Amino acid sequence: MAETIFLDTGFIIAFFNKDDKNYTAANRIIQDTLKDYPSVRFYFSDYVFDEVITLMKARHVSINSIIDIGNRILASRIWTRITINEEIFQKT
């Protein structure tokens, strides 16, 4: 079974924002994890995706950058979106 890791908003923001104090660490974590666990799957929820977009808008990131980052997240082969339905919501 593949290893799974849930990504939160702060991590995703740091991963894409070169000005974030945790940018280097976030990128190193992804690289090291993929090296050590090649079959790892990273997951994020639709709630987290919404938070990422909202936070970027609040920080006045350009709409083109927001669209680009959003598309890169959604198109990723190693990052998978989980839709929070009622059953998942209740379990959490």
Per-residue pLDDT reduced to its tens digit, 27-66: 999 999 999 999 999 999 999 999 999 999 999 999 999 9
Edge to edge, the sheet with strand 4-6 lists 4-6, 41-45, 79-82
Give the residue extent of every domain in the chain.
4-91
* Average pLDDT of every residue of the chain: 94
Looking at residue 1, its pLDDT comes to 55
Mean pLDDT, range 9-34, rounded to an integer? 96
* Residue 81 phi, psi dihedral angles, 5° rounding: -85, 135
Query: Regarding the domain delimited by 4-91, which CATH topology (the fold level of the hierarchy) does it fall under?
Result: Rossmann fold (3.40.50)
- Residues 68-76, mean pLDDT to the nearest whole number: 95
Q: Which residues contact 87 (CB under 8 A, 6 or more apart)?
A: none
